[in-house]
Amino acid sequence: MPDCDAMIENMPMLLTESLDPVQRELTHQHIETCPKCAREWAAYKETWQTLDTLPELEVPARVKQRFLAEIDPDLRTNVVPFRSGRAARWLAQAAAVVIVAGGAFYAGNRLAPRFRPTPTGVELIGAQTLPPATPYYSIAETRVLPAASINPQIEGRPDIQNVQFTDASASSDQIGVSFDITSHVTVTGRPTDKSMVSLLRYVLENEDRESPSRSRAIDWVRATYSRLDKPDPQIAEALANVLRNDQHQGVRINAADTLQSMQSAMTDSTRDALVEALKNDPNPAVRLKAVEALAKLARSGAVLDPEMVDTLQKKASQGDENVYVRVKAAEALRSIQPR
Amino acid sequence: MEIVQSGDFSPAGELYDRYAKRVYNHSYRFLGNREAAEDATQEVFVKMMRHANQFRNGAPLLRWLLSITGNHCRDKLRSLRVRPTHGEDGLELVPAPDDLSPERDLERQDAERIVQEALTRLEPDQREAIVLSRYEGCTYAQIALISGCSEGAVKTRVFRAMNVLKKALTRDAQETTNA
């Protein structure tokens, strides 16, 4: 029997998802069999959840004013004239002003627009607002734009790199300047807007895998979408893909847990992801969240297909499975309606 | 940041817009006082501009900013003994959302006050570790980099912090206090 003190020492790391899989499993198993440690664990979890009471505050506008006022003298004395910068920067300015490409028409058609601004829906805000005549702002990996569509006024100091040039040819007087540019873009809209859903789906599925920000994105999606009567199934599918593919167990746990709160958005593919996680995920805490989601689905009266029922039956009787997973699988079986 | 490092402060507003909310909230949770958090946010961004040459390009800027914020807040707590004001003076709490009834708003304010008071019971190093872990979602390795200590030290700080908070925030603890 492991030492209770050592197990209690592990508990904060269990909460912060910092324990290695072996220790994690060991600690969970100990908690299930030791009433004293189970009480301690419940208290740690309650504490962790209570800390969430503190809200995110908006920064009062006066702080920015004070900051800019304080650095203003520096701003005046330290400004480097644009032309006196490095050659690359000069080229970058030229690049942003003169964007001409012979293939504009072809590429413009190839890169279909994805985000449509509407009076009440998604719109682009920020340093530069697109003119009303522009039907879409396309969030794309690459795009080709005719110079005539570019505002000659460059706003702020966008970071422009990897500048390349295309010469005019004998058959065309069009030249081209291409570059990578990093802009900070804010898209606003209702949670139900298709464009917003697509954007969030992309963020959930493609954000940097090494970053804890994906868990934060999932938390935010849960807080926003679990309040809706019927969240868009695309959100649930994005979470299902995170559950299938993310390398971090904490992120997968969070994805499965969030799916549990979005029953009405579940599709067959989403349910399959939960079953796959229950069958194959190496982490017992992920399997537990997956079986809890399936149990909730069964309790809600949803019809589970035979494969799901089969998986639950196997899990309920699998001797080497985590005890809690087995119990939850049995619980789900008691309330299911076979298809 | 490369532009700032070259001596041109013109991206100041844009950098502020991008990171101010994170710095401000981190400061508020650290110091427990909105006015002090405002000062801290202003100071952190001024330091960022004036010491931009110390920033290593390619490193995450937010991590550097949180590190500056941590140093600033720890110094404040140690030297000026900034303590959040409770009781009659009250913490400056967030205005209630429009759809919250007065009773619910009072409950919310109470809950926030209890959490903020509990955080102030922690040593500055413990407070930084728990705030980075709970609210910024940082791993122990990231906290170690931000705080300039070992991962082992982070583990100890989080463990000790959680034990203090557990005594202050769990239902059993509250019932014992009220009894």
pLDDT at res. B15: 87
- Please indicate whether residue A177 or residue B176 has the higher confidence score (pLDDT): A177
What confidence category does residue B7 fall into, taking pLDDT thresholds of 50, 70 and 90?
A: low
What pLDDT, on the 0 to 100 scale, is given for residue B178? 53
Same domain, A4 and A120: no
DSSP symbols for A217-267: HHHHHHHHHTTSSS--HHHHHHHHHHHHH-S-HHHHHHHHHHHHTTGGG--
pLDDT(A95) > 90: no
pLDDT at A210 over 70: no
The whole-number pLDDT of residue A2 equals 60
Q: Which two tokens stand for residue A253?
A: 């746990």
Residue B62 touches chain A, beta carbons under 8 Å: no
Output the pLDDT for position A298.
84
Average pLDDT over residues A152-168: 80
Strand (E) or helix (H) holding B23: helix B12-31
Long-range contacts of B12-18 (CB under 8 A, 24+ apart): B12/A67, B12/A68, B12/A71, B12/A75, B12/B45, B12/B49, B13/A64, B13/A68, B14/A127, B14/A156, B14/A157, B14/A184, B15/B45, B15/B48, B15/B61, B16/A64, B16/A67, B16/A68, B16/B45, B17/A64, B17/A184, B18/A184
Cβ <8 Å between A71 and B130: no
| Spatial separation of the C-alpha atoms in residues A101 and A105, rounded to whole Å | 9
Q: Tell whether A69 is covered by a domain.
A: no
pLDDT at A216 > cutoff 70 = yes
Contacts of A62 in chain B (CB under 8 A): 38
Residue of B nearest to A48 (CA): B134
Does A181 share its domain with A203?
no
Indicate whether A322 and A205 sit together in one domain: yes
In angstroms, the CA A12 to CA B12 distance is 38
CB-CB neighbours of A172 under 10 Å: 10
Contact status of A71 with chain B (Cβ, < 8 Å): yes
Q: What is the pTM of this model?
A: 0.50
Q: Is the pLDDT of residue B11 over 60?
A: yes
- A242 vs B78, residue with greater confidence: A242
Pair (A127, A217) in one structural domain: no
Residues of B in contact with A15 (CB under 8 A): 162
- Residue A28 and residue A44 in one domain: yes
Output the domain CATH number for residue A321: 1.25.10.10
Whole-angstrom distance, CA of residue A160 vs CA of residue B165: 47
- Whether the complex's predicted ipTM surpasses the cut of 0.85: no
Going by C-alpha positions, the residue among B136, B139, B161, B141 that lies closest to residue B151 is B141
Separation of CA A225 from chain center = 13
Query: Given pLDDT bands bounded at 50, 70 and 90, which one contains residue B20?
Result: very high
The distance in angstroms from the start CA to the end CA of chain A is 44
Give the closest of B3, B41, B116 to A59, CB-based.
Answer: B41
Mean pLDDT of chain A: 76
Residue B160 banded pLDDT, cuts 50, 70, 90:
very high
Q: What is the pLDDT of residue B104?
A: 66
Size of interface A-B (CB pairs under 8 A): 139
A140 lies in a domain?
yes
Q: Is residue A62 part of a domain?
A: no
pLDDT of A136 reads: 67
Contact A293, A243 (CB under 8 A): no
Task: Report H helices in A35-158.
Answer: 35-50, 61-78, 87-97, 104-110
Q: Which two tokens stand for residue A235?
A: 């959100």
Q: How far is CA B73 from CA A156, B39, B68, B142, in A?
A: 31, 10, 9, 18
Structure tokens at A238: 């994005």
Interface residue B92 vs chain A (CB under 8 A):
no
Q: Assess A267–B contact: CB distance below 8 Å, yes or no.
A: no
Whether the CB-CB separation of A164 and A172 falls below 8 Å is answered with no
Do A244 and A110 have their domain in common?
A: no
Beta bridge partners, A159, equal A182
Residues A187, A194 contacting (CB under 8 angstroms): no
In angstroms, what CA-CA distances link A285 with A110, A233, A293, A309?
Answer: 44, 25, 12, 20
Q: Taking a contact as any Cβ pair under 8 Å apart, which residues of chain B between 108 and 147 contact chain A?
A: 108, 111-112, 114-116, 130, 133-140, 142
Q: Is residue A241 part of a domain?
A: yes
- Chain B residues with CB under 8 Å of A53 CB are 108, 111-112, 114-115
Quick one: pLDDT band at residue A73, thresholds 50, 70, 90?
low
Report the candidate in A280, A55, A293, A326 with the shortest Cα–Cα distance to residue B97: A55
Q: Which residues of chain A make contact with B136, given a CB cutoff of 8 A? A: 212
A164 lies in the same domain as A228: no
Pick the residue of B15, B116, B166 with the most A CBs within 10 A to test the interface with A by mutation. B166
What value does the mean pLDDT of chain B take?
80
Q: The domain containing residue A316 runs over which residues?
A: 190-335
**A11 CB near a chain B CB, below 8 Å?**
yes
A179 and A194, same domain (yes or no): no
The Cα–Cα gap between A222 and B146 comes to 28
Residue A312 lies in a domain: yes
CB atoms within 10 A of CB A81: 7
Check CB contact of A212 with chain B, cutoff 8 Å: yes
Mean pLDDT across B150-178: 82
Least confident residue range of A62-66, B17-21, B76-80: B76-80
SS3 A178: strand
Angle at alpha carbon of residue B165, lines to B122 and B155, rounded to 5°: 70
CB contact under 8 A, B166 and A47: yes
**What confidence category does residue A126 fall into, taking pLDDT thresholds of 50, 70 and 90?**
very low
Total number of domains in chain A: 3
- A30/B59: higher pLDDT: A30
Using a CB-CB cut-off of 8 Å, the residues of chain A touching B21 are 56-59
Chain B environment of A71 (Cβ under 8 Å):
9, 12, 45-46, 49-50
| A303-304/A159-166 β-pairing | unpaired
pLDDT of the residue at B80: 61
Residues A179 and A216 grouped into a single domain: no
A71 assigned to some structural domain: no
Dist CA B65 CA B12 (whole Å):
14
Model confidence at B99, pLDDT cuts 50, 70, 90, reads: low
The CA distance from B12 to B2, in Å, is 12
Residue B65, Cβ neighbours under 10 Å: how many?
A: 24
Q: Would residue A65 count as lying in a domain? A: no
Look up residue A208 and give its amino acid. Answer: D
Helix (H, G, I), strand (E, B) or coil at A324: helix
Contact A272, A302 (CB under 8 A): no
Same domain? For A234 and A306 the reply is yes
* A56 within some domain: no
pLDDT over 60 at A74, yes or no? no
How far is the first Cα of chain B from the last one, in angstroms, to the nearest whole number?
55
Decide if B160 touches A, using CB distance below 8 A: no
Q: Which two tokens stand for residue B24?
A: 């401000």
* Residue A43 near residue A14 (C-beta atoms within 8 A): no
Distance CA B84, CA B35 (A): 10
Q: Stretch B109-117: mean pLDDT, rounded?
A: 85
Q: Which of A58, A74, A157 sits opposite B49 (nearest CB)?
A: A74
Tokens of B64: 């550097």
Phi-psi bin for B58: left (phi > 0), alpha (psi -120 to 50), beta? left
Does one domain contain both A122 and A259? no
Main-chain phi, psi angles of B79, to 5 degrees: -85, -40
Confidence of residue B176 (pLDDT cuts 50, 70, 90): low
A58, A74, A156 ranked by CB distance to B9: nearest = A74
Same domain? For A97 and A219 the reply is no
